[in-house]
Amino acid sequence: MGAVVGALAAVSLGFAPHAAAYDDVQSKQWYLEPMQAEQMWKVSTGKGVKVAVIDTGVDANTSSLKGQVLTDEVPKSVAYRATVDYTGHGTTMAELIAGTGAGGGLKGLAPGAKIVPYRIELEGLTGGAEEKQKTPDAVDAIRAAADTDVKIINMSFGGDGPSPKDKAAIEYAASKGKLLIAAVGNDGRTNGRIGYPASFPYVVGVSAADESGTVSKFSSHGGYVDLTAPGQDFPGWCDANFRSYCDDVNGTSSATAIASASAALIWSAHPDWTVNQVTRSLVDTAGRSWPKNDPSTYLGYGAVRPRVVLANPDYNPGPANVDPLARENGGDLLAKSADSSSSSASSSPSASASAASQAPEKGSGGATSAAGSSADSSSDSNTLWIAMGAATAVIVIGGGGFAVMRARRAR
């Protein structure tokens, strides 16, 4: 993002060496059935919701994304090669969110949503100094997206930090009512540290779980985890050639995309809700078997379950102007912005964001890079042991039981 962040990386574990059969991709998206996707789509497909995917670019010509990518809505200041994906990562995220599944491609959890692509410099960008100079950085992309009508900003990347510029960009976007969702990273096998932007206040940090519901062994952990979602053992694009998918494109990146799609389904069904109400609905209905006021270090408030909201036409999302994560965020940014605006007619969004930057950091402790884990793609996450006397708990996605190891969230 800023100079302090240094090299950012997309938080997937890398591509498995064997390609997935193109016509068998959707059968490997194991989470669609337990999340009851078909039933949810009868109520909402995400139609009317735009999701900014800030990543390695998004190829708008894959069979699953044709007609799904709003290339003409990328602000000109950050539009450089937005639809030229240099690793396949951004395109995978876009398909997991809003892919139609046409031609046997990945089926997005919110196939009625639309993608606005942003291409930033992440690991894998080639072309030398000139290409890097022309490619927007994350700060510019976040600010640009904040000034559009996208509702959700998906950030499946991470790095060291923070810098004042990074934090100000996040708070600016939050002050505009955007739902910011980011991957917590893949350092679970090493130090478990969570990088930025997931570590910032006003960003929903997402961890990953496998098909059994076990926390993925690679998934980073700590006080910055807010939700978890499926993020292991399903296909994604192998490279920038887009000839075939590869199996087991694992990472909290994919989990983040599915969390963003979950939010899109809810927001589409309730277009008059605010970001606070959509976030609250995700938190309140998340699958967990522990008290909501004691979130898990590994799973946050639990597993995303948009079907619970969609199945209840009388669901009460709570107050529109109260941040459900104000405790983690160090205060309610929108409320502070409103107070600032009422006290000074000349107050601007940037000034409001600056004032809110005095809030304490989300969670506790520092954070290092959340990207570039050296973990392999093993799915033996059921062997993950969490120290500190953790008790076993069960969370539920759809109708399935998700066995996880539970630990007290650090603050």
Among the listed residues 55, 166, 226, 247, the single catalytic one is 55
Three-state DSSP at 310 gives: helix
Helices (H) and strands (E) in the chain, counts: 11, 13
Joined tokens for residue 292: 């909501």
Beta bridge partners of 396: 401
- Burial per residue of 334-365, b for 16 or more beta-carbon CB atoms within 10 angstroms, e otherwise: bebbeebeeeeeebebeebbbbbbebebbbee
Q: Are 11 and 253 in contact (CB under 8 A)?
A: yes
Helix axes 89-98, 252-269, angle to 10 degrees: 30
Whether residue 89 lies in the annotated active site: yes
Whether residue 253 lies in the annotated active site: yes
Alpha helix stretches (DSSP H) within 4-52: 37-41
Q: Are 123 and 8 in contact (CB under 8 A)?
A: yes
Q: How far is CA 185 from CA 13, 34, 199, 278, in A?
A: 10, 24, 10, 23
* Distance of alpha carbon 235 from alpha carbon 105, whole angstroms: 10
Among the listed residues 59, 64, 85, 89, the single catalytic one is 89
Whether residue 199 lies in the annotated active site: no
Among the listed residues 12, 216, 220, 253, the single catalytic one is 253
The count of other CB atoms within 10 Å of the CB of residue 81 is: 15
- In 3D space, the residue among 291, 290, 261 whose CA is nearest the CA of residue 278 turns out to be 261
Active site members: 55, 89, 253
